[in-house]
């Protein structure tokens, strides 16, 4: 089995664990912004030690970083902050598994953005896959127990957070792949480690400053929640390292395709950890979105 496939599955598993921990913290101890900061702040020290240790152990030299690298890295890093914040906020609106599936529209949105921005043409099979995914999103957009036509619920907070997170994660993945490809090294771990170090430090600093301004006291609460938050950092670092390394080996769209196993992991977490139940409509919608995102990648 190719290394990038194993890395993609591992990344999805670590990411599910991280979102489980973030949901727990956002349910009381921290705000959505605080739970998001925990992911970056507690990852940063481990990332620096891991990347530095690998460079020393292998004798690799820190390569020069081009302006294009920083452009990709900053764009990807800021998009990931926005995406993670949106997902954590979404957990307060819907159950865990539905929140993850909303996020997984990132693959479909990547195809649509490619058509609009890059002129990538989508055949009939791809268009059909996108329509299937849209049907699933429309089903998920209506909050259980509410009435009205489906289009009245597309503007709901849950729908906007879910679709927004997918869009930002799509931008983030493209940015990170672009950044890793700008590093002059044949070693994928060097490229992934350097990119991850630069991005994580930038994210931790930027979000700390933002929360210090917009949510006074939240940074202190993140430090107070360190017993749980440190595991968010570790799982986040492990997941990101797997994603970044996979991006150096294969196109982001194909990495995301394999990463759809996160939907299965999230279903297990939703039922076994949070004791949540899915309605038949939500289960059917999750199936539609899952089929859609896999089909889009296969036919693009």
Rounded distance, CA 155 to CA 142, Å? Answer: 10
Task: Specify the pLDDT at position 145.
Answer: 54
SS3 250: coil
Integer Cα distance of 266 and 262 in angstroms: 6
Do 168 and 82 touch, CB atoms closer than 8 A? yes
| 2 φ/ψ sector (left φ>0, alpha ψ -120 to 50, else beta) | beta
Alpha helices in 182-260 (DSSP H): 188-214, 218-224, 226-249, 252-258
**Structural domain tally of the chain?**
1
| Domain boundaries, position 227 | 3-58+65-299
By 3-state DSSP, what share of the chain in percent is helix, strand and coil, each rounded to 5? 80, 0, 20
Per-residue pLDDT of the chain (300 residues; tens, 9 = 90+): 678 888 988 998 998 898 888 777 776 778 888 888 988 999 999 999 999 999 999 988 888 889 999 999 999 999 999 998 888 787 776 666 666 667 767 777 766 766 665 455 556 666 676 676 667 666 665 555 555 554 555 566 777 787 888 889 888 888 888 888 889 888 899 999 999 999 999 999 999 999 999 999 999 999 998 888 899 889 989 999 999 998 888 877 677 777 777 777 877 787 777 777 777 776 777 777 777 666 655 665
pTM: 0.78
Q: Are 12 and 240 in contact (CB under 8 A)?
A: no
Q: What pLDDT, on the 0 to 100 scale, is given for residue 142?
A: 57
Cα(97)–Cα(262) distance, integer angstroms: 9
Instruction: Give the count of beta carbons closer than 10 Å to the beta carbon of residue 122.
Output: 17
């Amino acid at each position: 089995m190719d290394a990038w496939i194993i890395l993609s599955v591992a990344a999805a598993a670590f990411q599910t664990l991280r979102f489980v921990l973030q949901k727990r913290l956002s349910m009381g101890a921290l705000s959505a912004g605080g739970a998001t900061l925990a992911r970056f702040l507690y990852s940063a020290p481990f990332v620096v030690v891991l990347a530095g240790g690998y460079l020393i152990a292998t004798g690799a030299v820190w390569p020069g970083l081009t302006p294009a690298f920083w452009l990709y890295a900053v764009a990807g890093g800021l998009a990931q902050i926005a995406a993670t914040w949106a997902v954590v906020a979404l957990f307060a609106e819907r159950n865990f598994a539905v929140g993850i599936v909303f996020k997984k529209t990132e693959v479909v949105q990547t195809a649509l953005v490619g058509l609009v921005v890059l002129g990538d043409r989508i055949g009939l099979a791809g268009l059909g896959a996108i329509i299937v995914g849209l049907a699933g999103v429309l089903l998920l957009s209506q909050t259980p127990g509410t009435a009205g036509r489906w289009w009245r619920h597309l503007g709901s907070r849950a729908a906007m957070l879910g679709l927004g997170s997918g869009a930002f994660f799509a931008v983030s993945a493209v940015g990170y792949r672009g950044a890793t490809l700008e590093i002059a090294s044949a070693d994928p771990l060097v490229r992934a480690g350097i990119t991850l170090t630069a991005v994580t430090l930038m994210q931790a600093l930027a979000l700390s400053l933002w929360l210090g301004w917009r949510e006074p006291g939240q940074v202190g609460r993140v430090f107070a929640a360190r017993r749980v938050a440190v595991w968010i950092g570790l799982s986040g670092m492990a997941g990101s390292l797997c994603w970044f390394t996979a991006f150096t080996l294969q196109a982001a769209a194909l990495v995301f395709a394999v990463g759809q196993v996160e939907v299965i992991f999230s279903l297990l977490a939703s039922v076994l950890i949070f004791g949540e139940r899915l309605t038949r409509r939500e289960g059917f919608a999750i199936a539609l979105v899952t089929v859609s995102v896999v089909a889009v990648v296969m036919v693009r």
